[in-house]
Amino acid sequence: MSAFVGDPGNALPLTGERTIPGLAEENYWFRRHEVVYQRLADRCIDRDVLEAGCGEGYGADLIADVARNVIGLDYDEATVAHVRARYPRVDIRHGNLAELPLADNSVDVVVNFQVIEHLWDQAQFAAECYRVLRPGGVFLVSTPNRITFSPGRDTPLNPFHTRELNAAELTELLVTAGFTLESMLGVFHGAGLTVMDERHGGSIIEAQVQRAVADAPWPDQLLADVAAVRTDDFDLTPAGERNIDDSLDLVAIAVRP
């Protein structure tokens, strides 16, 4: 299936590589990503922020509600053009995440949500984030939890992912780059999504995957449930309160000393 988002002449294709707003069939994944932006936006208040790998741009625009300045960076020229046209508050730039086109000590926060699993050289990227952050700056990272996203697999289930991480591996990556880990959190289904899981054979995620694999029409109940998902349906819980290895996504807050 091919779908598009954005103004005519400046639309982005739904390829499976990025998550986009405004599509009923994509709403579960969009809300699962959006919740992390919403819950961590306060770390960006009155700060100079870089979103490294901003994708469609909705997250950078959300951060722009509270930040002093938001730079968006993406490697895809069509994406950069889309963000420039749709989100004028974002200072969008084209560039490679392995060589961030920013000066040393130039931003207070680096945001990298659902991107690091796409990168071939994750260590180089983490080192670049350390470089551009000011002392005391914060690196905010989210990524699918390998244990639950691609269970029992040696290679990622998503063909756009190069290397998925568990909590211990993400921690090691950040600490090796020089960061201090402030906290590790996990994204979990809340009560409403737990009910939806039960209604769809135990997993609303698996129900969506099966539909995609079969390239079949959406059952009415599944589409209605997916379209109804909101960010409040997800819990963002610190490691220790729940088993982080059971989380859907990992969310790390790391500080440059």
Mean pLDDT computed over every residue of the chain: 90
CATH of the domain at 247: 3.40.50.150
The tokens describing 86, both together, are 């749709």
Among 40-44, 63-67, 95-99, 206-210, name the one with the lowest average pLDDT.
Answer: 206-210
What's the pLDDT score for residue 10? 44
In a domain, 129, yes or no: yes
Query: Per the structure, how many domains does the chain have?
Result: 1
In a domain, 9, yes or no: no
In a domain, 11, yes or no: no
The pTM score is 0.90
240 to 32, 178, 256: CA distances (angstroms): 21, 24, 23
Mean pLDDT for 12-21 is 62
Evaluate if residue 99 carries a pLDDT over 60: yes
In a domain, 10, yes or no: no
Q: What's the pLDDT tens digit per position in 165-200? A: 999 999 999 999 999 999 999 999 999 999 999 999
In a domain, 209, yes or no: no
- Structural domain boundaries enclosing 87: 24-189+234-256
Write down the residue that tokens 């960006």 correspond to: 44
**DSSP letter, residue 206:** H
DSSP for 26-90?
Answer: GHHHHHHHHHHHHHHGGGGTT-EEEEES-TTSHHHHHHTTT-SEEEEEES-HHHHHHHHHH-TTS
**Residue 154: band (very low, low, confident or very high) from pLDDT cuts 50, 70, 90:** low
Dihedral, 114, 185, 187, 135 alpha carbons, nearest 10:
-30
Q: What's the pLDDT tens digit per position in 106-116? A: 999 999 999 99
Evaluate if residue 62 carries a pLDDT over 50: yes
**Residue 22: band (very low, low, confident or very high) from pLDDT cuts 50, 70, 90:** confident
In a domain, 210, yes or no: no
In a domain, 4, yes or no: no
What's the pLDDT score for residue 4? 31
